């Protein structure tokens, strides 16, 4: 495959409430930032990820084009998925060999709606959605299946929130406290917070990547896999699609310094750690991860961006990023980023 | 353009107002199984699945690819969900082709659908983002001012739209999958229907359809059966609101056509392209796109329509299948154009086959005439 690297990453200072900006206004500064960082004004391909249901209106990606400045017209596409899957599409497009750069972005304002209820609409509309099972409830089924130690989950949340407080882009959330259940066995703090935000990444191929970044974060492997939709068809305590994507991406081919995982619930961390074969000493979500900032549809892309940032700034040599889609980790994407090829 | 890629299977459902006999999953699976059968393959032969549809509010299922993965044999495989407004069916084909052209996969199943009977498209297209003005017009109300501006600029006589409406419905009578098959369709019948958005009458607009379309794409070493080779692919997007944007003949459409023609080595589209499947949801978009796509000079497109050049027996047949005017499961409408282009160069279009078609254009557009997706397919390996 052609060598492709992340050469720039930018994200908004995420907020836990609607701070006023519309989606294009969230996007414009981060797109400007990656353009400044790379000196690029035009890209060979542009791809984005967003979800109409967050705003309750069709075509959320249409107004986002205003932030890109799509004039003269650009070669562009959109996935109704997390921006991480848009990055995958851009990586595939760069494999063709005729273009050398791509812009990827994702954005979401979950403050505008009740994400917990909206996610119910993602379920099979005939047999599952009518049951009224909401996002936290089906996550709780998975948490019960994995039967994680409460103290271990508390520690994951404590560590993630501390990471978030040290990350200028994530939310400032206190150490977890309280005995109340949201949906047993999940406590309110086990659930990723409501967040508004956006992120942008620039990919470049071969020598172009070397020109644009001192230490490009080379994508040495990237893959994604889906599982059956029905929760009863899966062993919820395990994530076989993450394990398969991780194998295809070559996670186990070298040491992992840091992993950024798309954990929307604390109990997903042990599931993903096991699936990816990450030992206990691998640092997971030093940025705070989704438990400290979860701008839906950008959260997965931010995992790739955060992992890449640590390669770009020299604080890590090899990193793993993970993004997910669908109920209870139905579909998973894994990327390996490396300072060398 | 990357590695060679070909369409080796096409599957369609019969398009109709309501498919009450199938679920969403049943609908997409019907098209997918037909495409696999055409290619002589099963789900086990497929490496990746790409799903496209227009806004999720059309069915009220958010990101339905998660639910549809099971019905499309996608467990254990990568699933991608594309959404680029009305052009999505075309974009979905291009995203699928890209996976093969990029050397990532050998065989990809591409499926696009809409089950419009689950909702009301005009409602779903009229809700708006918070703090933005709503035009409360749906698609017809949005596009008709562009049509009127085209008529003013070109001086086209008022009956041109009627001619397109009749021509495409005559073609639909030869397509067993078409939704609107109206025996005895003629100008008088079109002119007798109510005016919806002047100058567009009821029979000059597309229907609301339930339906799905699927194609199987293969790398050169995985080709089975009769291939339609991809000679060029292109996407272009431009902003919705921009001072000076020409909404009648958008630059994104012209640039996209120029790109795809360059890849396919086409310099004179009207002569070199044997048949075109072009996204014409309102009758007048045929002459408008004839110009935008370089089949006619500016202001001259309507003359080709009037002279019958775009009829099935004309010198440059457009929408031999009956087009979007005859079948419109919105999310699938673009993919149907791309698939029909492939059927033509495979010589498998049945009664609406254009004799000896070797090179065909598939076209889709969406948003406020701002998103474009196109491909050129041919019987000859590029």
- The predicted-structure confidence for B329-375, as pLDDT tens digits, reads as follows 999 999 999 999 999 999 999 999 999 999 999 999 999 999 999 99
Contact B352, B174 (CB under 8 A): yes
Please work out, in degrees rounded to the nearest 5, the angle formed at the alpha carbon of residue A316 by the alpha carbons of A315 and A319: 145
Q: Is B274 among the domain residues? A: no
pLDDT of residue B131: 62
Give CA torsion, residues A61, A66, A69, A71, to 10 deg. Answer: 90
Cβ-Cβ pairs closer than 8 A, A with B, add up to 201
Q: Is B136 among the domain residues? A: no
Residue A61: closest C-alpha in chain B:
B84
Does B382 contact chain A (CB < 8 Å)?
Answer: no
pLDDT of residue B144: 95
pLDDT of residue A57: 81
Contact: B63, A97; criterion CB under 8 Å: no
The alpha carbon of residue B311 is apart from the nearest alpha carbon of chain A, in Å, by: 32
Contact: B129, A22; criterion CB under 8 Å: yes
Class of domain A115-192+220-338: alpha beta
pLDDT of residue B135: 60
In chain A, residues with a C-beta closer than 8 Å to the C-beta of B68 are 229
Tell me which of B24, B109, B129 to substitute to probe the interface with A (most A C-beta atoms closer than 10 Å): B129
B60-79 residues touching A, CB cutoff 8 A:
60-70, 74-79
Query: What is the domain range of residue B28?
Result: 5-120+208-222
Contact: B367, A59; criterion CB under 8 Å: yes
Euclidean distance between CA atoms A326 and B7, whole angstroms: 29
Token look-up 């779903």 returns B124
For chain B, how many structural domains are there in total? 1
In chain A, residues with a C-beta closer than 8 Å to the C-beta of B49 are 226
Q: Is B264 among the domain residues? A: no
pLDDT of residue A56: 83
Contact B129, B252 (CB under 8 A): no
pLDDT of residue B139: 84
Contact: A79, B2; criterion CB under 8 Å: no
Q: Is B175 among the domain residues? A: no
The alpha carbon of residue B236 is apart from the nearest alpha carbon of chain A, in Å, by: 5
In chain B, residues with a C-beta closer than 8 Å to the C-beta of A123 are 67
Round the average pLDDT of chain A to a whole number and report it.
96
Contact: B78, A66; criterion CB under 8 Å: no
Nearest to B168, CA basis, from B286, B289, B274: B286
Q: Is B146 among the domain residues? A: no
Residue A120: closest C-alpha in chain B:
B62
The alpha carbon of residue B77 is apart from the nearest alpha carbon of chain A, in Å, by: 5
Tell me which of B26, B60, B62, B330 to substitute to probe the interface with A (most A C-beta atoms closer than 10 Å): B62
Nearest by CB to residue B66, choosing from A70, A71, A326, is A326
Letter string b/e over residues A55-68, b meaning 16 or more CB atoms within 10 A of that residue's CB? bebbbbbbbbbbbb
Q: Could you tell me which residues come within 8 angstroms of residue B158 by beta carbon, excluding any fewer than 6 positions away?
A: B151, B199
Collapsed DSSP state (helix, strand, coil) of residue B94? helix
Contact: B2, A96; criterion CB under 8 Å: yes
The alpha carbon of residue B375 is apart from the nearest alpha carbon of chain A, in Å, by: 14
The alpha carbon of residue B48 is apart from the nearest alpha carbon of chain A, in Å, by: 9
- Same fold across A4-113+195-217 and A115-192+220-338: yes
In chain B, residues with a C-beta closer than 8 Å to the C-beta of A331 are 66, 69, 79
- Asked if pLDDT for residue A175 goes beyond 90, the answer is yes
Residue A125: closest C-alpha in chain B:
B61
Tell me whether strands B228-237 and B371-378 are parallel, antiparallel or unpaired. antiparallel
Euclidean distance between CA atoms B112 and A153, whole angstroms: 41
Nearest by CB to residue B239, choosing from A53, A65, A112, is A65
Class of domain A4-113+195-217: alpha beta
pLDDT beneath 50, residues of chain B: none
Contact: B102, A118; criterion CB under 8 Å: no
Contact: B236, A126; criterion CB under 8 Å: no
Q: Which CATH number fits the domain that encloses residue B40? A: 3.40.47.10
B106-145 residues touching A, CB cutoff 8 A:
124-125, 127-132
Contact: A224, B124; criterion CB under 8 Å: no
Euclidean distance between CA atoms B327 and B190, whole angstroms: 17
Beta-strand (E) ranges in B143-243?
195-197, 200-201, 210-219, 228-237
Beta-strand (E) ranges in chain B?
5-12, 48-52, 79-82, 107-115, 195-197, 200-201, 210-219, 228-237, 275-277, 359-366, 371-378
Q: Encoding tokens for residue B314?
A: 């004309």
Nearest to A164, CA basis, from A47, A269, A262, A292: A292
Q: Mind listing the pLDDT tens digit for each residue in A45-72?
A: 999 999 999 988 888 888 888 889 999 9
Q: Mind listing the pLDDT tens digit for each residue in A266-283?
A: 999 999 999 999 999 999
Contact: A95, B2; criterion CB under 8 Å: yes
Residue B368: closest C-alpha in chain A:
A62
pLDDT of residue A53: 92
Q: Mind listing the pLDDT tens digit for each residue in A225-259?
A: 999 999 999 999 999 999 999 999 999 999 999 99
A183 exposed, middle or buried (CB, 10 Å; 0-12, 13-18, 19+)?
buried
B358-377 residues touching A, CB cutoff 8 A:
367-368, 370-371
Does B22 contact chain A (CB < 8 Å)?
Answer: no
Residue A87: closest C-alpha in chain B:
B80
Tell me which of B54, B83, B217, B246 to substitute to probe the interface with A (most A C-beta atoms closer than 10 Å): B83
- The structural domains of chain A, with segments of one domain joined by +, span 4-113+195-217, 115-192+220-338
* pTM for this prediction: 0.98
User: DSSP of A232-272, one letter per residue?
Assistant: GGS-TT--HHHHHHHHHHTGGGS--SEEE---SBTTHHHHH
Euclidean distance between CA atoms B289 and B305, whole angstroms: 11
Q: Is B15 among the domain residues? A: yes
pLDDT of residue A66: 84
Compute how many other C-beta atoms are within 10 angstroms of the C-beta atom of residue A52. 22
In chain B, residues with a C-beta closer than 8 Å to the C-beta of A52 are 55-57, 83
Collapsed DSSP state (helix, strand, coil) of residue A47? strand
Q: Is B341 among the domain residues? A: no
- Asked if pLDDT for residue A166 goes beyond 70, the answer is yes
């Amino acid at each position: 495959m052609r060598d492709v690297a992340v050469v720039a990453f930018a994200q908004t200072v995420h907020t836990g409430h609607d701070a006023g900006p519309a989606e294009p206004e969230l996007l414009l500064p981060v797109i400007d930032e990656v353009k400044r960082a790379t000196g690029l004004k035009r890209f060979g391909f542009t791809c984005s990820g967003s979800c109409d249901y967050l705003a309750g209106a069709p075509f959320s990606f249409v107004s986002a084009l205003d932030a890109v400045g799509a004039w003269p017209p650009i070669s562009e596409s959109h996935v109704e998925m997390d921006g991480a899957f848009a990055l995958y599409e851009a990586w595939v497009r760069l494999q063709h060999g005729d273009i050398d750069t791509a812009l990827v972005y994702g954005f979401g304002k979950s403050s505008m709606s009740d994400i917990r209820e909206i996610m119910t609409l993602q379920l099979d509309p005939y047999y599952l959605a009518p049951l009224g099972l909401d996002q936290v409830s089906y996550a709780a089924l998975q948490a019960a299946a994995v039967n994680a130690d409460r103290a271990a989950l508390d520690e994951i949340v404590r560590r993630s929130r501390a990471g978030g407080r040290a990350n200028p882009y994530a939310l400032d959330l206190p150490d977890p406290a309280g005995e109340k259940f949201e949906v047993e066995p999940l406590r309110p703090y086990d659930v990723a917070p409501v967040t508004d935000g956006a992120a942008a990444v620039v990919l470049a191929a071969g020598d172009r990547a070397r020109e644009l970044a001192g230490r490009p974060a080379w994508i040495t492997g990237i893959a994604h896999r889906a599982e059956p939709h029905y929760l009863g068809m899966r062993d919820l305590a395990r994530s076989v699609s993450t394990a398969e994507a991780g194998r295809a991406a070559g996670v186990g081919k070298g040491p992992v310094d840091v992993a950024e995982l798309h954990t929307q619930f604390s109990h997903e961390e042990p599931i993903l750690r096991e699936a990816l074969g990450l030992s206990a000493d691998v640092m997971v979500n030093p940025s705070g991860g989704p438990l400290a900032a979860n701008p839906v549809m950008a959260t997965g892309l931010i995992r790739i961006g955060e992992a890449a940032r640590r390669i770009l700034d020299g604080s890590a040599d090899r990193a793993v990023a993970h993004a997910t889609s669908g109920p209870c980790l139905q579909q998973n994407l894994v990327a390996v980023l490396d300072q060398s090829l | 353009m990357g590695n060679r890629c070909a369409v080796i299977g096409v599957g369609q459902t019969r398009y109709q107002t309501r498919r009450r006999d199938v679920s969403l999953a049943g609908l997409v699976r019907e098209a997918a199984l037909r495409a696999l059968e055409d290619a002589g393959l099963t789900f086990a032969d497929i490496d990746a699945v790409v799903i496209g549809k227009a806004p999720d509010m059309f069915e009220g299922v958010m990101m339905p690819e998660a639910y549809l993965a099971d019905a499309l044999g996608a467990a254990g495989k990568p699933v991608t969900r594309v959404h680029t407004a009305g052009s999505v069916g075309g974009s979905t084909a291009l995203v699928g082709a890209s996976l093969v052209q990029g050397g990532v996969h050998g065989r990809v199943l591409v499926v696009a659908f809409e089950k419009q009977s689950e909702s009301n498209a005009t409602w779903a297209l009229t809700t708006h983002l918070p703090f933005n003005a709503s035009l409360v017009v749906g698609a017809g109300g949005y596009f008709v001012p562009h049509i009127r501006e085209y008529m003013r600029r070109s001086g086209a006589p008022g009956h041109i739209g009627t001619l397109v409406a009749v021509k495409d419905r005559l073609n639909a009578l030869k397509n067993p999958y078409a939704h609107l098959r109206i025996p005895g369709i003629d100008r008088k019948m079109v002119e007798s229907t109510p005016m919806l958005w002047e100058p567009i009458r009821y029979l000059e607009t597309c229907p609301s359809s339930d339906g799905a379309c699927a194609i199987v794409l293969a790398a050169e070493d995985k080709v089975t059966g009769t291939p339609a080779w991809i000679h060029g692919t292109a996407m272009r997007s431009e902003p919705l609101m921009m001072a000076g944007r020409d909404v009648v003949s958008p630059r994104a459409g012209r640039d996209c056509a120029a790109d795809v023609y360059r890849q396919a080595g086409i310099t004179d589209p009207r002569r070199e392209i044997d048949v075109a499947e072009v996204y014409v949801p309102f009758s007048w978009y045929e002459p408008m796109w004839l110009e935008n796509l370089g089949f006619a000079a500016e202001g001259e497109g309507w003359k080709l329509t009037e002279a019958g050049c775009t009829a099935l027996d004309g010198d440059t047949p457009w929408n031999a299948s009956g087009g979007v005017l005859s079948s419109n499961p919105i999310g699938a409408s673009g993919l149907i154009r791309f698939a029909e282009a492939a059927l033509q160069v495979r010589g498998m279009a049945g009664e609406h086959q254009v004799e000896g078609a070797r090179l065909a254009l598939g076209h889709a557009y969406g948003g406020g005439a701002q998103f474009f997706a196109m491909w050129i397919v041919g019987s000859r390996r590029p």
